[in-house]
Structure formats: C-alpha cells, structure tokens
C-alpha cells in the first residue's frame, strides 16, 4: 500500500493582549496530540510561575544578539521593551517529522514568517475581542498590570487589530468554547489540504494502474 503521510504546518495565533489567545492555545495543545508549541526566546525576565524551556527560553541581550547574528531565529520582534524570537532548529525538526507547530506571536513575527522558505506551510489566525470595552475589562480584571500598562496595551491593541487583513482566518472570541471549536475545525481542514498530503500522487497513480 502506498505510504500516505503529511507535511507539518505552522499554525499562527495572533491577537491583542487580553483577547484570550494564550488560553485558547493551551486548550488546543491539551486536546491535540499532533501539535507542539513553539517556545520563544525572550529578553524579558521570567514572571512568577514561568518555567525555563516550557514557557520561554530566557536569554540576555548578548545571547539574543548572537541568535540574530547566526540567523538562528525564524522571526523576532520587540514588544514592550523586550525582544521575542522563534528558534529555527526546533521548528524545522518538528515540521520535518510531520507534526504541526503552534505559534503565539504578533503581526510583526507573522509577517517575517511569511517571508521564509516555509511560508507555504503557514496558516494565520487572528483572534479578535468582542469589543474594545470588553478587552479593557479583561486586562484590568487580571490585576497584574498597573493602569499605565493597561493604557499602553490598549493603545497597542488598536495597532495590532489594524493588521487583521493579513491573516487567513479571523475569529471573534466572545465564546471561548465556540472559538476553540472553530480553531480545531481550521486545523483539521488545513491538514487535509492536497499540498500537504505527501505520497498522494503515488497513491492515485497506483490506484489507477
């Protein structure tokens, strides 16, 4: 029987802070054994409860500069004074193994991924809050940011949302369960695309022989 397998894809989730992207990402990872999270490198110091290698790779500025100089990052951007980037090696190894990689990155990183050799494997999803008022309520409800930080995040949110047209799918997160179901449906459909079914041409030729 012809060997049918698929090529992995890069599944990008972007949203303004507070729209629920991180929660949706975590739930998707728990539910789906075929997708792994891309662990970003960052110059930001760890927050309480964050674990090295699970949440981020925490590096200093010199180490981050070295990653950039060696072209070891697929993308990187500066956000709120700190730099974040995606290490190239783990992502390429995962895709080669036929598994998917989940990216929790912003529009700047997504644009850079679109310019890489792996752009054909990129699936871009933007998560919108139901309203800006609800977004601000969620940010204030966290209780982790000072009022001036919340104000800065709201200002940045408007810029981020302005890039919605650069994404393949737009979801409004007014119901987390429904939004998660839509994410699962997108992922399932994208995995079934003809271009990702390796060995399909040989399968059809064998079937018709």
The H or E element containing residue 44 is none
In a 3-state reduction of DSSP, which class is residue 55? Answer: coil
* pLDDT tens per residue, range 161-181: 999 999 999 999 999 999 999
* pLDDT tens per residue, range 35-44: 999 999 999 9
- We find that the CATH architecture of domain 5-38+99-208 is 3-Layer(aba) Sandwich (3.40)
* pLDDT tens per residue, range 104-142: 888 988 999 998 877 888 999 999 999 999 988 888 887
Domain layout of the chain by residue ranges = 5-38+99-208
pLDDT at position 3: 65
In a 3-state reduction of DSSP, which class is residue 128? Answer: strand
Segment 66-84 mean pLDDT: 91
pLDDT at position 38: 92
In a 3-state reduction of DSSP, which class is residue 172? Answer: strand
Q: How confident is the model at residue 47 (pLDDT cuts 50, 70, 90)?
A: confident
Instruction: Give dist(CA 64, CA 46) in Å, integer.
Output: 15
Q: Average pLDDT over the chain, rounded to whole? A: 90
């Amino acid at each position: 029987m012809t060997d049918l397998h698929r090529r992995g894809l890069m599944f990008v989730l972007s949203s303004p802070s507070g729209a629920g992207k991180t929660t949706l990402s975590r739930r998707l990872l728990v539910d789906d054994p075929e997708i792994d999270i891309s662990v970003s490198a960052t110059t930001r110091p760890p927050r309480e409860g964050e674990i090295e290698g699970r949440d981020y790779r925490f590096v200093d500025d010199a180490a981050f500069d070295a990653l950039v100089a060696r072209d070891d990052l697929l993308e990187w951007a500066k956000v709120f004074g700190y730099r974040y980037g995606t290490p190239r090696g783990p992502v390429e190894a995962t895709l080669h193994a036929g598994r998917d990689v989940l990216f929790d990155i912003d529009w700047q990183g997504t644009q850079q991924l679109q310019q890489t050799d792996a752009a054909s494997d990129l699936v871009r999803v933007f998560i919108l809050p139901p309203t800006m008022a609800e977004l601000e309520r969620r940010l204030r409800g966290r209780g982790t940011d000072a009022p001036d930080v919340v104000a800065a995040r709201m200002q940045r949110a408007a810029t981020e949302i302005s890039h919605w047209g650069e994404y393949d799918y737009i979801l409004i997160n007014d119901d987390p369960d429904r939004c998660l179901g839509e994410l699962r449906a997108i992922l399932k459909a994208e995995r079934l695309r003809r271009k990702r079914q390796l060995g399909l041409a040989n399968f059809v030729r064998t079937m018709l022989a």
